[in-house]
Structure 1
Amino acid sequence: MNEYLILFLSSLGALFILLAAVGLIRMPDLYLRISVTTKAATLGIGLLLISAAIYFNEIGITSRVLAIITFILLTAPVGAHMIGRASYFSGVKLWSKSKVDDLKGKYHPKTHGLASGIDEIEDKKENEKSN
């Protein structure tokens, strides 16, 4: 019974990693590539590690697998976010068919600090008073 579970989880993990590779090739811009590869590869690696833990069936390996999965789940989205943010500030263009740039005008051009909605309203009021 365990063999079938291991086979299923390993195959599903390999499929997700394959989908991440295909998404890396097929997606039109950097931001979509980051999104696809982070989600699919994280899930694929997690499934492969779970199948390895079931196969070896030792507490030491299982605890390491859980630690690795936790580490990957915590760091992959943060890394992808930081790469995307650095790319945005470097001027990497969005895909031409992207309808909305939600970040346009939200960041200070020099400090790259994010302005909340309140800051934007206060800045507009100050600009209106000075004009």
Structure 2
Amino acid sequence: MPISRELALKILRYLLDNSSFYFPFKIVCINFDEDDELYDVEISQEMLDEILSNGEFKDFELVENLQHLDLQTLQLMSKGFIEKIIYDDALNKIETAAKEYKNLWKRDVCESVKIEEYGFNEFLGGKAEGFEESLEILKEYISKNHI
């Protein structure tokens, strides 16, 4: 899975600070050939310093390394899968609500002089906009957090 340089650095810093934490992935730098010693990013302060100072370290990937699945690792992996399912379900529900309210809103009623008809139509339009904005916010959050 491709990851940004910034995320690779965050992961590396976290793993250095939490040496007992099992991370079931290897970080590799795809700017180097697999035979190159710089391809596999080792968890060390020297490697962190090298990445920070060397502009050749640009593109990274996480590669599965499931050698030891302890309880904490399984819980974290399960949480990720469950969040994916829940977020997808939430996205679908919000998108459906936005479409339903958008379909109920009528452009021609925006010119109505009947205050109740006009007000209800504005209410429907506001609900549609609210759900559309919520959908955008949630999608942005998911995208930024790679969920």
TM-score normalized by structure 2?
Answer: 0.33
Please tell me whether Structure 1 or Structure 2 has the larger radius of gyration of its CA atoms.
2
In proportion to residue count, which structure has more helix? 1
Q: TM-score, normalised by structure 1?
A: 0.36
Flag the structure with higher strand content: 2
